[in-house]
């Protein structure tokens, strides 16, 4: 039987895999949005939407007893990742033209 440290770390590894799968699912939707933005000539970033997303995270964190600012922080990380990947994808497409 593994010790509590090892056991918790094995559980964390499983949760990490779930997080990666959720980020992958999120990114699939972001890619659909890129297609739409490209077709309609829209900006990659939408600050109003970003604010709504960060608020969703802050609200859920608060419900779970964590500081709102930490929820916003997690939202920010996910958004920055999405925006970077969106830009990279658009650059790649433009380079392929
Ligand atoms: C995915 C979008 O593009 C960007 C990324 C966002 C996100 O990761 O939630 C939100 C707004 C945009 O800055 C979108 O416009 O919804």
5-59 tens-digit pLDDT: 999 999 999 999 999 999 999 999 999 999 898 899 889 999 999 999 999 999 9
Q: Please identify which residue in the block is written with the tokens 């933005």.
A: 37
Per-residue pLDDT tens over the stretch 58-94: 999 999 999 999 999 999 999 999 999 989 988 888 7
Burial (Cβ within 10 Å: 0-12, 13-18, ≥19) of residue 66: middle
DSSP class per residue in 37-89 = HHHTT--S--HHHHHHHHHHHHHHHHHTTS-HHHHHHHHHHHHHHHHHHHHHH
38 in contact with ligand 1, CB cutoff 6 A: no
Per the structure, the complete domain to which residue 20 belongs is given by: 4-96
Question: For residue 10, what is the domain's CATH number?
Answer: 1.20.59.10
* Ligand 1 atom nearest 79 alpha carbon: 8
If one residue of 34, 39, 50, 55 were mutated to test the ligand 1 pocket, choosing by the most ligand atoms within 8 A of its CB, it would be 50
Total domains, the chain: 1
50 in contact with ligand 1, CB cutoff 6 A: yes
């Amino acid at each position: 039987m593994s010790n509590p440290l090892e056991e918790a770390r094995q559980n964390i590894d499983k949760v990490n895999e779930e997080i990666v799968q959720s980020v992958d699912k999120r990114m699939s939707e972001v890619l659909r949005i890129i297609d739409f933005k490209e077709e309609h000539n829209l900006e990659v970033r939408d600050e109003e939407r970003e604010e709504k997303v960060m608020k969703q995270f802050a609200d859920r964190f608060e419900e779970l007893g964590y500081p709102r600012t930490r929820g916003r922080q997690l939202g920010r990380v996910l958004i920055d990742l999405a925006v970077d990947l969106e830009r990279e994808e658009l650059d790649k497409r433009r380079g392929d033209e």
